[in-house]
Chains A and B, each alone.
Chain A
Amino acid sequence: MNLLALQEITKVFGGLIAVNDLSFAVEAGSIVGLIGPNGAGKTTVFNCITGNYTPERGRIFFDGEPITGLKPHRVVELGIARTFQSIRLFGRLSVLENTLAGRHCRMKAGLFACMLHTPGQRREEKAAVARCMEELRFVGLADRCNEAAGGLSYGNQRLLEIARALASDPRLLILDEPAGGMNDQETADLVEIIRAIRQRGITVLLIEHDMRLVMQICEKLVVLEHGALIAEGAPEAMRRHPAVIEAYLGAEDEKW
């Protein structure tokens, strides 16, 4: 069953066609990689799914429901959480508070309950803190929960973004270059974490330039060039696909 389906998505910036008539689907419970050379429009596709951009044409379905043009916070409420390519944490808030921000959309306390700290609000707050600590333990940042997020190392900041996304109870997790700026050890840890996320029943869609990581964990690859789909299928098949090889020619640093 498809959890996410894009149908003929087109996104234009001025005269530039960033995404051109793109269709692909993400099966529930799978790990799918979206790859392509720099400037292929991968992040634009992500921004269309998460509601940051509205595509000019085409439709996006999540679990059968159309989500095209919804505001980002509505998309998160429906169960799609994301991380950002350029890390976007709340630097002066603590690690725990960053994770609690992800939990926000699952909490219900209104203005008056928040002002008066009603028993219901206290209970909800306590449960949210416990849940967020679990997510921090999951990515290995629990013992740093009181530190300012801005003080974490690059790799840990990426992990915190994942914890923040997980705190919103997503069914689909969208990771934009999760291994960017990580060293080999951190990347190996990340692979374990992404696998553990899938074991929790969460579908993962990721953009990544680290081809070793992509080949290790993705069951399906979607390859973009100039905003258009050039191939999709199993990683092994993609490695030998002539169009993919051609698109990547000259990009020697991206080892297969």
Chain B
Amino acid sequence: MKRMPLYLALGALLCVLPLVCNAYWLDVCVMIGLYALLALSLNVILGQAGIFHMGHAAFFAVGAYVTAILNTLCQWPIFCTMPLAGAAAALFALLVARPIIHLRGDYLLIVTIGIVEIVRIALINDIFGLTGGSNGIFGISRPRLFGFRIVKSAHFYYLVWGMVGASLLLFYGLWRSRFGRALNCIKEDDIAAEGCGVNVTRYKLLAFVLGAFWAGMAGTVYAAKMTTIAPESFNFMESVIIFAVVILSGGSQLGVLVSAFLFIGLPEVLREFSNARMLIFGLAMMIMMIWRPQGLLPPGPRHYAGPSDGLPPAAPRAGNQATEAGRSA
């Protein structure tokens, strides 16, 4: 809640940005929004539950291809394909995550990298004769929202950032609930979490399914924005970037937004340095990680109404009050 003014300032800035930006920078901002959406969904898996998942681009790809196929072959309107794209990505996540969910840390990481590669190669090989091989799918139509045709960058800008805003609210709700706490407990110590009654496997899978659903919906928007998609848009590097955005953020949602701006925006800003641009970017990242290893903005404490009212704020106290409590009980 302390970060509310920051959110409001950021929101206001984002609202007026299309009025001052040229088309190029607006497109960059659309991409930043898309990555923010992907990173927010990965944050549930990686930031909240601590599951090292580096294959988010696979779910993104499933969503984008479901939209592209349904739109070009069956002429479904884009927004009608969105729930299905999300559901397909979620189902795919459930199927691939179920057998690997008990793996820990780096072991899981390697398997999830494998998933991205499998998806990319399957798409190149024109799986089921639907994905168009390495050329991909083109001629995806523009989305229509209540009769309004979304074509221009500015339209997509508001669509993407609107979705980011809605995701922020929903994931904030999730964070401040038993669900978010269960994920945090799993991150801290999964044996203890299981030992105090959290169904660890179920919650890890739910985190995957939810994150994948969001990535799938982001895929829909991406397909509609690009009108043409190809397997190379969903390679391992994309996964690494989304992963890095979450790691750099420190795990809070505001952190994810700031980190998405840095990761996607900074290389564009540095374009005038031409060849040296990735060098400068890499250096900035290294300094960042040395200076703030915990990430930009780790999540603040949750506030609970009731117990803290009328109590002194977290001050260490000497002595032990257990005797009284034991006797009075």
Residues of A within 8 A of B (CB): 50, 52, 71-73, 76-77, 81-82, 84, 88-94, 96-97, 100-102, 104-105, 107, 109, 111, 113-117, 121, 125-126, 128-130, 133, 137-147, 151, 155-156, 159, 164-165, 168, 185-186, 188-190, 192-193, 195-196, 199-200
- In the assembly, what is the distance between CA of A82 and CA of B196, in Å? 7
- In the assembly, what is the distance between CA of A229 and CA of B307, in Å? 46
> B311 interface residue, CB < 8 Å from A?
yes
The one of A84, A139, A199 that contacts B322, using a Cβ cutoff of 8 Å: A139
Task: List chain B residues, Cβ under 8 A from A164.
Answer: 196
> B275 interface residue, CB < 8 Å from A?
no
Task: List chain A residues, Cβ under 8 A from B316.
Answer: 144, 147, 151
> B185 interface residue, CB < 8 Å from A?
yes
> Is A130 within 8 A of B195, CB to CB?
no
Given contacts A107-B178, A115-B177, A193-B325, 19 further A-B contacts (CB under 8 A): A71-B199, A72-B194, A73-B198, A76-B195, A81-B197, A92-B188, A93-B184, A104-B182, A109-B179, A114-B178, A126-B306, A129-B305, A140-B322, A144-B316, A164-B196, A165-B196, A189-B326, A192-B323, A193-B329
With most chain B CB atoms within 10 A of its CB, the pick from A50, A84, A105, A146 is: A146
> Is A93 within 8 A of B188, CB to CB?
yes
> Is B301 within 8 A of A94, CB to CB?
yes
> Is B181 within 8 A of A117, CB to CB?
no
- In the assembly, what is the distance between CA of A77 and CA of B199, in Å? 10
Given contacts A71-B194, A168-B196, contact A117 B317 (CB under 8 A): no
- In the assembly, what is the distance between CA of A47 and CA of B326, in Å? 28
Given contacts A130-B306, A145-B311, A196-B329, contact A115 B174 (CB under 8 A): yes
> Is A140 within 8 A of B181, CB to CB?
no
Expressed in whole angstroms, the minimum distance between the Cβ of B174 and any Cβ of chain A is 5
- 26 A-B pairs (CB sep. < 8 Å): A71-B199, A73-B198, A76-B195, A77-B197, A88-B191, A90-B185, A90-B189, A90-B193, A93-B185, A101-B182, A101-B185, A102-B197, A104-B196, A109-B179, A111-B174, A114-B173, A128-B178, A143-B317, A144-B314, A146-B307, A146-B311, A147-B314, A165-B196, A192-B322, A192-B326, A196-B327
Expressed in whole angstroms, the minimum distance between the Cβ of B58 and any Cβ of chain A is 22
Between A and B, how many residue pairs show CB distances below 8 Å?
Answer: 170
Task: List chain A residues, Cβ under 8 A from B180.
Answer: 114
> Is B314 within 8 A of A82, CB to CB?
no
The one of A109, A156, A185 that contacts B178, using a Cβ cutoff of 8 Å: A109
> Is B306 within 8 A of A193, CB to CB?
no
Task: List chain B residues, Cβ under 8 A from A151.
Answer: 316
- In the assembly, what is the distance between CA of A115 and CA of B302, in Å? 15
> B210 interface residue, CB < 8 Å from A?
yes
With most chain B CB atoms within 10 A of its CB, the pick from A92, A126, A199 is: A92
Q: Which 5 A-B pairs have the closest CB atoms?
A: A192-B326, A105-B197, A189-B322, A114-B177, A76-B197
- In the assembly, what is the distance between CA of A139 and CA of B305, in Å? 21
